[in-house]
Structures are given as C-alpha cells and as structure tokens.
A and B are shown apart, each in its own frame.
Chain A
Amino acid sequence: MGSKWSKDDALIWMSGGSLVLGFLMVAGLILVIVVHGLGGFWPRELTRYELRDGRIVLGHEMSRVSVRTTNAAGGRTEAYRLRVRTGDRARYPDEYIWLEEGRVAARDAPREAVVVEQVRGGDYFGFLDSFVDDGAVVARGYEAVRAHYLEQSPELERLRRQRALSIVLSSVDGRQQAISLANVQRIYAPNAMTTWTRVQHYLVSAWSYLWTPPRDDNRLGGVYPAIFGTAAMVILMSIVVMPFGVLAAFYLREYGKPGPFLNAVRIAVNSLAGVPSIVFGVFGLGFFVYFLGGTLDRQFFPADLPEPTFGRGGILWCALTLALLTLPVVIVAVEEGLAAVPSGLREASHALGATRFETLWRVVVPVVLPSMLTGLILSVARAAGTVAPLMITGVVAFSAALPVDGAWPFVHLEREFMHLGYHIFDTGFRPDGGEASLPMAYTSTLLLLSIVVALNAAAIGLRSRLRRRYSLAAA
C-alpha cells in the first residue's frame, strides 16, 4: 500500500511539475515579448561617453554584458562591455558599437542632446546648432533652434514643400551636418524630458507605429501596411475557406454514405492538417502562382507579357494558399458541430414533411452556426500566425502600395503586400546584421500575438456558449 501511494505521489509531482514548467515557459516568453515590445517606444536617455583614447561617443546604452577573461597569471578578471547605439551611420554603418567599460573615462547625459528622427537615413543623435531658412541662418543655439522648430512644426508639412528649411546639427565630436526639414520626422531631447512628456512621447510613438507606413527600409516608422495586409489577406482567405469548409463538412456528415470513400476523405483532411506549412507554400507557388497565374496572364493580360500580372506572388495567391492550409480546421470544427446536433431534431423535422434541404437549412444550420464561427475564428488565428508559405507566394518585406486603394479597380488582388509575421522576420533578422530594428520586431510580435490571442479567446467564448445551449437541450 505504501509503495503504491509513493508512486502515485511521484506521478502527481511529475505531472504537476511539467504543467508548471510549461506554464512558466509560456509566461516567460510572453513577458519577454511584452516588456521588449512595449518598451521600444520609451524615450531612452542619450549618454555621452568620453573614452581614454580621446574619442567621444553619444548614444543609447542598449545593454551591458559581462566579459570574463583569464590572464596569463591564471587569475580571473571581470570586465563589462556596453552595447551602444550611436545613431551615426556615417561613421558606424550599422549604428551599433561595443565599448569596453574600462576604457570609458567619463560619462554624462547632456540635456541638450537631441534625437532627430529622419524620414530617410535613420535616427541622428547630436546637438542643435542652427536653423537655416533659404540659406540664411535664422536661429542659433539649442533654445533658439528648438523654439524656432516648435513654432514651425504645426505647419511643417506645408513649409517643407515651400521653402528650403534645414537644421544644422553638430555631432558630439564637433562635425556639422545639415538636415533638410523635409527629411525631419520628429526632434526630441530625451534627457530634458519630464516623466509626463516621456509618457506623451511614448503614446504618440505607439500610436504612430500602428498607423504609419515603415520608413528607412523597415528600420523605422510604423507597421500600418503590415497590419492592413495581414487583415486583408485573412479576410480574403475567410471568404474562400468558409464556403468550401462548411460544404465539405456538410457532405461528410449529412450527405455522404459512410464507407471507404468517406474514410479516405477524412484521412486526407486530417493529413492535410499535419502537412508542414512550407509545403503549402511550394504548392501555392507552383499551382496558384505559376499555373493559375500564368494561365490568367496569357488569357487576360497578354499585352503586358513577359511582365507578369497574376503570374507572380500576390495577395490572392497567399489567401488561396492559406485557405488550403486552414481548410481542415474549418471542416473539423463544422463536422463536430454537426455531430453534436441531436438526431431527434432532424427526425422531428423530417416527420413534419420537411425535405432534407429544409431540415438542413432551417434546423441544422442555425444550430451549427456557432461551430461555423468557431471554425472561422480558429482558421483566422491559424492564418494570421502562418508566415512560411507566404514568403514564396506574395509577401514582401516592404511595399508602399496597399492591396486596397483609391486607384481603379480599388482592390488589387495581384499586388504583393506586407504581413506582420514577415515583418517580424525582416526586422528581427536583418541580413545586414543591424540591430536598429530589433525593438520593432518585438513590437510586431506583440501585436501579432495579441491578434491571435484575441481571436482564440473569442473562439473559446463561442464554444462555451454553444455548450450551454446543448446543456439546455438535454435538460
């Protein structure tokens, strides 16, 4: 008896431990994403480092890592190395440098240091020197330039087009650089900010992240086209997948005669759910893009050939590929819903002289409607989180044109588009190794995660409502 108990206890501890471990891992992942994703907009302090060799560096301290070395005598020394973002692409192409902390002679946070967010060319860190209006210096010094800039900023958009305004900045080591006002997105002095202005800055940044297009090769700016593209593609996918999935499930459950054929179809559907998503991408590229797209081009757009219209990646092909990918989700959800419809309801309807179609349409469909919605939401969540097949069927890292705009015919199904998932890949793992866009990757991840979590929560809510409905029926 005693040994049985201890085995039982061991199992309880092991299973409980696994659960806790899994929970901690998920919680940790979410915490990392939330902290980094939400922290990216907070204005960081600008620090000036004076190094022992006389160099002066101005930048954000991004991280501090310890470096342990063993010296010749066998003793260990511990040193720290700072990862500093310099905002100085002229000197440091990827903006980031490592500083040995031991070689920093002095550091401070000059109140007048400013961050200039440029439309093109990244952020510039330096000091305001003068304000130039059509070649004439109209203000000089931090306060004067700042005042002048703030005074102009409400009508900046208009002024940019009219006059050749520019701001001259001096870098921390004395080099001067003029930046045309047309290229200035925003100027702020992080070290001079109060908590309240930091919060304001944070909210404005976060808001504009959602609603502006990316700048500077995805290193800066917002993700509006990616959000829009993701939503548009998912909507298009839903329009395709729902009728197919629902009708397939109806056939499987209502019309098909049980037998080897139906079993084969079910196995095929379930296998479809297990196929790696990149395989769908390859199929989409081969079948939709090259075959269907190529055929469409030859039939309807021969004038443009050899320049392809539909015969290259586009939002329509991405949506079709994902529709194929999520088809099993819809079929399974709707089939489960149909299986849960009490057979008594169908019999009651038939016994009143209803045809099969009337029974399906008036009795069964209203009952399985929540299951259809559940299937839709699950497939949307799945589609929003899938990237691999899209990379080869029409998603691009950067696209200024939205798939829907004011130009005839308003909906451009053949256009390449931006996608949040691919945006994460592009900003997080840049081929040039730059880290400037890393905070954006976290923010986009958070955004995508929130969308998927929200959709899943909605699905769970719907399902529980469905269950309540049936417990009523059984009472």
Chain B
Amino acid sequence: MTTGKAPIAPKILREETIIDVERVSFWYGDRAALKDVSMAIDRQVITAFIGPSGCGKTTLLRLINRMNDLVPQVRMAGTIRMNGEDIYGPDTDVTRLRRRVGMVFQQPNPFPKSIYENVAYGPRIHGVKSGGFLDEIVERCLRRAFLWEEVQEQLEESAFRLSLGQQQRLCIARAIAVEPEVLLMDEPCSSLDPVATSRIEELMLDLKDEYTIVIVTHNMQQAARVSEFTGFMLRGELVEMGVTDAMFTTPRDRRTEDYITGRAG
C-alpha cells in the first residue's frame, strides 16, 4: 500500500511488518515536526532513522510508544498500528503499549536507586512480587545487557556509581525487564565514548534476535554498522527508506546522497 501523494517513500506491508506508520503528521503548537510520514518497520531487525538535527526522527520514535502524550500542546494526524492495532485508538491502554514498546534515552537515566531496584522497577509495577522471581529477572536481564559480570557483586549499590556506558546498558536491562516486543533507542550512544558505544552496538546486534529495535542516530556509520533498514528524514519528511546497504551505496534521492556524502545537513 502506497500513499497517494508521496512516492518517494514506498511502503510495503508484509508479513514481517510490526509497526505501520500511515500518513502521520505532528505539530508542536504551530510548528510542524512531521509531515505526512508513512513507513513500515519489520520485526526482529534493526531499523535506523537518520537525518540532521530537528528533522523529526526523535519525534517519530516517541510517537511509537506515545511518549509525546506527556508533552503539552501537541497535535497529531494519521495512524500508527502495531501488529495491526491502532495504538492511538480509543481502546488502547497506554501503559500496556509502553510495556510492549520499551525505550532507551539519549542520556542514561537510571533511577536514583540501587542497580537491582532499577531493573526490578518495571516488573514490580507490573505486579511481580515474589523475591526469587525478581532475582531471576534481574539476573537474566543484566546478563542479557552484558552487565552481569561487572555488577553482580554490587547489586545493592547506587546505579549512579556506574560509568555512563554501564548506566546505559543498565537502562537497556531495565527496558527489557518488562519483556517488550520493540525497543526504541533515541541516540543511545550520543553521550558515550567509542568503547562504550561499540559495546552498546554489540548488544543491539545480539538483542535483535528477540526484539525489534528502532534506533535514532546522528552517526551514519553507526546506522550502517548495525541496521538492516534505514530511513532518512529531512525537515519532517521521510525522504527515503530502504535496505541500509543499498541506501548508503546507491541512494535513490538526491537529498539523501547529499546528506550521506556530507554535502548537506
């Protein structure tokens, strides 16, 4: 199914599609942040959004788990479906949606609690009370986030004692502790050094067998390294979307080519 107006971003709904964005526009007050964006995101692959600052990629990402609901004075048009279900529909339980769509933020933002409590937070609010079961979840998620070896001796210590890279991996562990289907990552490495960044990238590649990952990044090499699909956005529009390798080698749109070759953006 293609939109009538925008042939530059062909969208093909397939068996693999988990998130279906259809003609979404979004405004902060009077300022349009997204203009008529349509795309399909496949399950269990990594999809990257790239583009210059202010192009709307973070806004689009935050629409997928309705984080923009918390922002005052915004307006949205269009539809986003997850597994065919309209997530902005009247029957949608937002907390249930957010449980299915986890998020990792630009700044590592662990809670001012112990490492253990950070991971246990999500399961606790969703009703896990048994201590043994919680211990299991915490260990599994920390292992999954490649953090267990480093922190198993200091689970009761403050999460702020970890390095930034460790904090970000803790945030990933915290996000997967509620067993989401989709992980949204909003420039997860922008405040990290190259070593920490590469560890996060390894982690993403490892996680994609289980989770659908959508990552917003400034860093085109990162998009090229980790993602199967890439969408290039510019001034609120989705200019081009496709298989990452193809897009970086033979972009269809002139503006994409300018951006990835460094001539614009």
Contact = CB atoms under 8 A, between A and B. Distances in A.
Contact of B111 (A257, A345, A358): A345
Give the one of A258, A352, A354, A363 with max B CB within 10 A.
A352
Interface residues of B, number: 29
Contacts of A349: 111, 121
B246 to A, nearest CB: 32
Interface stretch (A56-64, A439-447, A467-475): A467-475
A353 B122 contact: yes
B178 interface: yes
B67 A347 contact: yes
Given A342-B109, A345-B111, A473 B171 contact: no
Contacts of B105: 344, 347-348, 351
Contacts of A363: 111
Interface in B88-134: 95-99, 102-103, 105, 107, 109-113, 121-122, 124-126
Contacts of A355: 95
A362 interface: yes
Contacts of B95: 353-355
Contact of B175 (A344, A345, A352, A367): A352
A473 B160 contact: yes
A7 B124 CA distance: 64
Contact of A351 (B98, B113, B160): B98
A348 B142 CA distance: 17
B70 A353 contact: no
B125 A352 contact: yes
A353 B126 CA distance: 8
Contacts of A257: 72
Contacts of A344: 105, 107, 109
A366 interface: yes
B130 to A, nearest CB: 18
Contact of A350 (B72, B96, B98, B158): B98
Contacts of A347: 67, 70, 103, 105, 109
Nearest to B163: A475
Interface string B124-165: 111000000000000000000000000000000010100000
Contacts of A473: 112, 160
B174 interface: yes
A367 B112 contact: yes
B65 interface: yes
Contacts of A348: 103, 105, 109-111, 171, 174
Interface in A339-378: 342, 344-355, 358, 362-363, 366-367
Nearest to B103: A351
Contact of B98 (A258, A352, A472): A352
Contacts of A367: 112
Contacts of B175: 351-352
A353 B109 contact: no
Nearest to A359: B125
Contacts of A346: 70
B257 to A, nearest CB: 35
Contacts of B122: 352-354
Interface in B165-191: 171, 174-175, 178
A48 B103 CA distance: 89
A354 B125 contact: yes
Contact of B70 (A258, A350, A475): A350
A472 B122 CA distance: 23
A352 B99 contact: yes
Q: Interface centre among B72, B97, B102, B111, by most A CB within 10 Å?
A: B111
Interface string B64-91: 0101001010000000000000000000
Contacts of A258: 72
A367 B107 CA distance: 18
A379 to B, nearest CB: 25
Contacts of B158: 472
B111 A351 contact: no
B135 to A, nearest CB: 19
Chain A CB within 10 Å, residue with most, of B98, B102, B171, B174: B98
Contacts of B97: 353
Contacts of A354: 95, 121-122, 125
Contacts of B121: 349, 352, 354, 362
Nearest to A258: B72
Nearest to B158: A472
Contacts of B125: 352-354, 358, 362
A353 B99 contact: yes
Instruction: Name, among B95, B112, B126, the residue most crowded by chain A CB atoms within 10 Å (CB to CB).
Output: B112
Given A353-B126, A354-B95, A355-B95, 14 more contacts: A342-B109, A344-B107, A347-B105, A348-B111, A349-B111, A351-B67, A351-B105, A352-B99, A352-B125, A353-B97, A353-B122, A353-B178, A354-B121, A362-B125
17 contacts: A344-B109, A347-B70, A347-B103, A347-B105, A348-B105, A349-B111, A350-B67, A350-B98, A351-B103, A352-B98, A352-B175, A353-B97, A353-B98, A353-B122, A354-B95, A367-B112, A472-B160
- Nearest 4 Cβ contacts at the A-B interface: A353-B99, A344-B109, A351-B103, A352-B122
